[in-house]
């Protein structure tokens, strides 16, 4: 049952309301709502240009028609424009039409005198006979004017004749508005339809997510098998593969936990039973010497159980990946092994065993220092445990260009080829070994070696007595240094001044 307080909190509400469907819909529609006003502005701009074109052409024709009625005789303009032509020129039901024929010095030949003045032409910018367009304000109205200059060869600029025809812009505005309306009004139908189609398309496109969610919801709590990617879209495959990798890690962790529980239950039953028997015997014992013997047996049993528990915990943590996931680092295996051997010297002295260390120099590898110490400790413990008093145990590091060899050699009871591979299985012990142990030490060694891309091996000693445990690691190589600059570049660098001087 969910917590009502958590469900009523603002944070929980905001997180619950977040939807991938809504996010995609927002990011698709928000640009559309932003672009729509821009579309209206551009439509209005181009509609005005389209609406101006035919009416500008009509103004040019009017100017050209008036220009044909003007004659220049000995530098003097003569205008022949009958009243009927003037009436036809001004015949417009919507807009007001104005015209003017005037000389450059301001003499009005015909038309409306109070039209807005035109700027005097600049040399090189104006071509006589070419028709130009301009906008002006006349009596509070927007006015569109077409004009041209008439002249003849050798005529000074002050005697040029200006012909202008202008009209208000009501027809242009009406045409532009019709164009805008014909473009914009259908969008009020198209845009909602597009939103519905986008919503429908997203609903269909996100169905694989819904199907994947239902597939995961339908799985049993203990089902850690990978999810099939047969019907998964290409974009979801990386997510499903990552989820499957997580399930695989969980499966390994669960299996390691189950093995640990089973192994602990199996292996701890005998020591605990023995401890209980010794304790009951001590309770009934009245002889002080026998009581001390029972207590010593209990202490030995506690040590044995403690060592077994520690090994089980180390194996469980190693198999579960807790320690393996720690970052590997570059280290000198020779220094690490020398430290481990130093820690075991006193134990070897107590057993009257000659413990030695041999190394040819630095042996650089990449690995987890904690795990490698555990590996070395278990190899040394195994060698000392199966070596009789007065024997020899030698830890050896041999560095090669491509590999680093770790060997632990002893002259103890030895091992046969038949048992050489089986001893790396958990709880496997050679029957005729004659020593106490749980059978987990070499299993831990093999697990750590595999996590360092290697494998451990145990073979009979070629000398005929004892055994040799061996693990081969890949040697670490420093990254290659960048190639030196050519001599000419080096000389150029030395001669060039520093930047900024």
Tens digits of residue pLDDT in 369-396: 888 888 898 899 888 988 989 999 999 9
Instruction: List alpha helices for 130-186, DSSP H.
Output: 170-184
- Is position 303 within any domain? yes
8 A C-beta contact, residue 257 and residue 316: yes
- Is position 206 within any domain? no
Place of tokens 């969610």: 213
Residues 373 and 292 in one domain: no
- Is position 443 within any domain? yes
**Distance between CA 401 and CA 16 in Å, rounded?**
58
- Is position 298 within any domain? yes
Q: HEC profile for 10-69?
A: HHHHHHHHCCHHHHHHHHHHHHHHHHHHHHHHHHHHHHHHHHHHHHHHHHHHHHHHHHCC
Domain with 300, as residue range(s), is: 235-318
Single residue among 150, 181, 212 that ends a domain in this structure: 181
pLDDT at 365 over 90: yes
Residues 357 and 457 in one domain: yes
Place of tokens 């917590």: 3
- Is position 482 within any domain? no
Sheet bearing 392-399, strands edge to edge: 354-359, 392-399, 403-410, 467-474, 456-460
Confidence of residue 295 (pLDDT cuts 50, 70, 90): confident
- With CA atoms as reference, report the closest residue to 452 among 335, 331, 337, 357: 331
- Which CATH number belongs to the domain containing residue 117 in this structure? 3.30.450
Within 8 A by CB and 6+ apart from 127, the residues are none
Amino acid 501: pLDDT: 42
Q: Say if strands 108-111 and 97-103 run parallel, antiparallel, or are unpaired.
A: antiparallel
Please give the share of the chain, as a percent, with pLDDT higher than 90: 11
Cα end-to-end span (Å), the chain: 72
- Is position 365 within any domain? yes
Residues 396 and 369 in one domain: yes
Residues 409 and 463 in one domain: yes
Residues 333 and 273 in one domain: no
- Is position 452 within any domain? yes
Residues 71 and 106 in one domain: yes
Greater pLDDT, 315 or 135: 135
Single residue among 181, 202, 222 that ends a domain in this structure: 181
Residues 304 and 336 in one domain: no
Residue 149 CB neighbours (<10 A): 20
8 A C-beta contact, residue 425 and residue 441: no
Place of tokens 């010794």: 278
Residues 51 and 77 in one domain: yes
Amino acid 14: pLDDT: 45
Residues 274 and 350 in one domain: no
Amino acid 10: pLDDT: 43
- Which CATH number belongs to the domain containing residue 430 in this structure? 3.30.565.10
- Is position 342 within any domain? yes
pLDDT at 96 over 50: yes
**Distance between CA 258 and CA 87 in Å, rounded?**
108
Domain count, the chain: 3
- Which CATH number belongs to the domain containing residue 308 in this structure? 1.10.287
Mean pLDDT of 145-152: 88
Give whichever of 47-51, 76-80, 266-270, 492-496 has the largest mean pLDDT: 47-51
Helix/strand/coil for 364 = strand
Mean pLDDT of 75-81: 77
Residues 255 and 387 in one domain: no
Amino acid 11: pLDDT: 41
Residues 363 and 459 in one domain: yes
Single residue among 181, 204, 221 that ends a domain in this structure: 181
pLDDT at 51 over 90: no
Mean pLDDT of 469-498: 69
Mean pLDDT (the chain) is: 78
Residues 377 and 422 in one domain: yes
């Amino acid at each position: 049952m969910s917590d009502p307080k958590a469900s009523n909190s603002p944070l929980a509400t905001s997180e619950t309301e977040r939807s991938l469907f809504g996010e995609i819909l927002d990011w698709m529609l928000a640009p559309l709502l932003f672009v729509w006003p821009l579309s209206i502005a551009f439509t209005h701009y181009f509609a005005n240009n389209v609406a101006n074109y035919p009416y500008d052409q009509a103004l040019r024709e009017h100017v050209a028609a008036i220009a044909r009625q003007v004659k220049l005789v000995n530098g003097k303009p003569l205008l022949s424009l009958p009243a009927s032509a003037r009436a036809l020129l001004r015949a417009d039901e919507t807009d007001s039409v104005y015209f003017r024929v005037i000389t450059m010095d301001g003499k009005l030949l015909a038309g409306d005198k109070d039209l807005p003045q035109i700027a005097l032409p600049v040399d090189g910018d104006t071509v006589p006979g070419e028709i130009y367009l301009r906008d002006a304000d006349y009596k509070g109205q927007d006015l569109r004017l077409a004009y041209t200059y008439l002249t003849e060869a050798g005529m000074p600029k002050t005697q040029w004749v200006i012909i202008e025809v202008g009209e208000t812009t009501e027809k242009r505005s009406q045409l532009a508005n019709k164009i805008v309306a014909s473009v914009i009004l259908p969008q009020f139908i198209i845009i909602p339809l597009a939103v519905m189609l986008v919503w429908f398309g997203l609903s269909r496109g996100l169905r694989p997510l819904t199907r994947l969610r239902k597939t995961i919801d339908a799985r049993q709590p203990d089902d850690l098998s990978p999810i099939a990617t047969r019907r998964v879209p290409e974009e979801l495959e990386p997510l499903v593969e990552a989820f499957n990798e997580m399930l695989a890690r969980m499966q390994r962790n669960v299996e390691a936990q189950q093995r640990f529980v089973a192994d602990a239950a199996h292996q701890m039953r005998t020591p605990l039973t023995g401890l209980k028997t010794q304790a009951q015997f001590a309770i009934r014992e009245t002889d002080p010497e026998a009581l001390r013997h029972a207590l010593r047996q209990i202490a030995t049993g506690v040590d044995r159980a403690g060592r077994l528990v520690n090994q089980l915990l180390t194996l469980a943590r190693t198999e579960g990946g807790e320690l393996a996931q720690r970052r590997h680092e570059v280290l000198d295996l020779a220094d690490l092994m020398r430290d481990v051997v130093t820690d075991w010297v006193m134990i070897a002295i107590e057993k009257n065993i000659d413990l030695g260390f041999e190394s040819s120099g630095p042996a650089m590898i990449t690995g987890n220092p904690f795990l490698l110490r555990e590996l070395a400790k278990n190899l040394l413990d195994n060698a000392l445990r199966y070596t009789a008093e007065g024997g020899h145990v030698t830890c050896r590091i041999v560095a090669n260009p491509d590999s680093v060899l770790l060997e632990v050699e002893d002259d103890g009871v030895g091992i046969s080829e038949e048992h050489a591979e089986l001893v790396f299985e958990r709880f496997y012990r050679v029957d005729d070994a004659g020593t106490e142990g749980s059978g987990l030490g070499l299993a831990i060694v093999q697990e750590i070696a595999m996590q360092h891309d290697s494998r451990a091996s145990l073979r009979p000693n070629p000398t005929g007595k004892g055994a040799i445990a061996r693990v081969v690691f890949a040697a670490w190589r420093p990254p290659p240094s960048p190639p030196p600059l050519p001599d000419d570049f080096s000389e150029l660098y030395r001669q060039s001044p520093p930047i900024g001087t």
